[in-house]
Amino acid sequence: MTNPHATRHQFDQVFVPSYQPASAIPVKGQGSRVWDQAGKEYIDFAGGIAVNALGHCHPALTDALAAQGNKLWHLSNVFTNEPAIRLATKLTAATFADKVYFANSGAEANEGAFKLARRYAMNKYGSQKSQIIAFKKGFHGRTFFTVSVGGQPAYSDGFGPKPGAIDHAIYNDLASLEALISDTTCAVVLEPIQGEGGIITPTLEFLQGVKALCQRHNALLIFDEVQTGVGRTGKLYGYMHTGVTPDILTTAKALGAGFPIAAMLTTTAIAKHLQPGTHGSTFGGNPLACAVAEAAFDIINQPHLLAGVTERETLFRQGLTRLANQYDVFTNVRGQGLLIGAQLAARYSGQARQLMTYAMDAGVMCLVAGADVVRFTPSLIIPKQDISEGLQRFEQAIQRWLAVQ
């Protein structure tokens, strides 16, 4: 006989121990609510790490998946398909880009972006132009190339020699970039808001300065918008707040609103350097993924929905600021749109994950961004009543957590 439910104990028996998931196992989601095997309800302020942009089981997405599932599942890139063409057309129409490359995850989109940048530089300027500059505390994925470009050694150390010609500047410090960049630099890559690094927002002067340095040294500017993209900041993409346009942009997470898909966007002049055979993906542009992503994109890329993100940001900021003032646990609340971080006070340094666990016990899902920041990335359409009730639960978690300090 088999167990009626998969158990958390079974996870430990059969999974590679690279994750330590919560003790509860969610089995059902609807909107911004989730239920576990025991029937306990949670308000979801995590959104699958900025993925579930329209909450759980949005009818437009489930309908799109069912409809496409009854037509065509997979072809490979020996053929193209209608959902992929429609989605790529909409992405280019709504952004700076002319061309799209589809992949399965943010890491794969970034892998493609870094390979394209090096191929472009090699073809146009010669093999000596290979340096990639990223930023400390950045995060760009878990492949060996992308984790090496990411500026967090804890994720990249311990796997042997790393890919070469990668250097790291200090985020929001233009002088540190200027000290590293040269005519041998092929690309500078950054997140418009550092996510895993602590929800760090750059100054406009910094972003403008990065762009100017890239232009001076004929280096491409890559924006990793895996976490900031598809409405998360209150605009379709984070770069749209800044007036700084990248040469290459990567997008994933919310693009499929829960279905695995990613994309790399760029211009025709750059894209032409990835000729047939130079890069590829078995599942990239899969009809199921593109059909769901198209449905999500059609909903998200609307002025009223994006304005609603900003309204919800205000509610979160007001609620978290009140908790910060009342309990003296946070030094600041930062971020943009519904990518929000609450920085723990110094005396609680390193305890963000502990507070996240207390929040789970209180019936609210949240995240961390490093050891000292609690992160909130809920659905872009989370009901305002759920924000209020979720913050009440989070306050209960703070009270219980402080009681054991």
Residue-wise pLDDT for 263-302, tens only, equals 999 999 999 999 999 999 999 999 999 999 999 999 999 9
Q: E strand or H helix at 187, and its extent?
A: strand 185-190
Cα 4 to Cα 7, 37, 291, 360, 401, distances in angstroms: 9, 11, 33, 24, 34
Contact between residue 357 and residue 341 where contact means Cβ atoms under 8 Å apart: no
Rounded distance between C-alpha atoms, residue 378 and residue 54, angstroms: 9
Q: Token pair of 292, please?
A: 């769901």
Catalytic residue among 44, 102, 206, 224: 224
- With a cut of 70, list the residues of the chain below it in pLDDT: 1-4
Catalytic residue flag (residue 253): yes
Look at residue 405 in the predicted model and tell me its pLDDT: 86
Look at residue 315 in the predicted model and tell me its pLDDT: 98
Look at residue 1 in the predicted model and tell me its pLDDT: 33
Catalytic residue flag (residue 272): no
Catalytic residue flag (residue 139): yes
**Exposure pattern of 178-198 as b/e (b: 16+ CB <10 Å)?**
eeebeeebbbbbbbbbbbbbb
Look at residue 290 in the predicted model and tell me its pLDDT: 98
What number of residues does the chain have? 405
Look at residue 4 in the predicted model and tell me its pLDDT: 63
Catalytic residue among 137, 211, 235, 253: 253
Cβ neighbours of residue 163 under 8 Å, at least 6 residues apart?
Answer: 144, 145, 148
Look at residue 387 in the predicted model and tell me its pLDDT: 98
Cβ neighbours of residue 150 under 8 Å, at least 6 residues apart?
Answer: 134, 138, 139, 140, 141, 156
Expressed in angstroms, the distance from the first to the final Cα of the chain is: 45
Look at residue 2 in the predicted model and tell me its pLDDT: 46
Could you give the count of Cα atoms lying within 13 Å of 242 in the half-sphere of its Cβ? 24
Catalytic residue among 102, 114, 135, 139: 139
Look at residue 151 in the predicted model and tell me its pLDDT: 84
At residue 296, φ and ψ (nearest 5 deg) are: -65, -45
> Which domains are present in the chain?
8-57+303-403 (3.90.1150.10), 72-300 (3.40.640.10)
Look at residue 155 in the predicted model and tell me its pLDDT: 86
CA 124, 125, 131, 137: dihedral to nearest 10 degrees?
-40
Cβ neighbours of residue 86 under 8 Å, at least 6 residues apart?
Answer: 290, 294
Rounded distance between C-alpha atoms, residue 212 and residue 219, angstroms: 10
Look at residue 3 in the predicted model and tell me its pLDDT: 53
Contact between residue 204 and residue 238 where contact means Cβ atoms under 8 Å apart: no
Q: E strand or H helix at 364, and its extent?
A: strand 364-365
Contact between residue 175 and residue 209 where contact means Cβ atoms under 8 Å apart: no
**Exposure pattern of 100-133 as b/e (b: 16+ CB <10 Å)?**
bbbbbbbbbbbbbbbbbbbbbbeeeeeeebbbbb
Contact between residue 42 and residue 365 where contact means Cβ atoms under 8 Å apart: yes
Look at residue 79 in the predicted model and tell me its pLDDT: 93
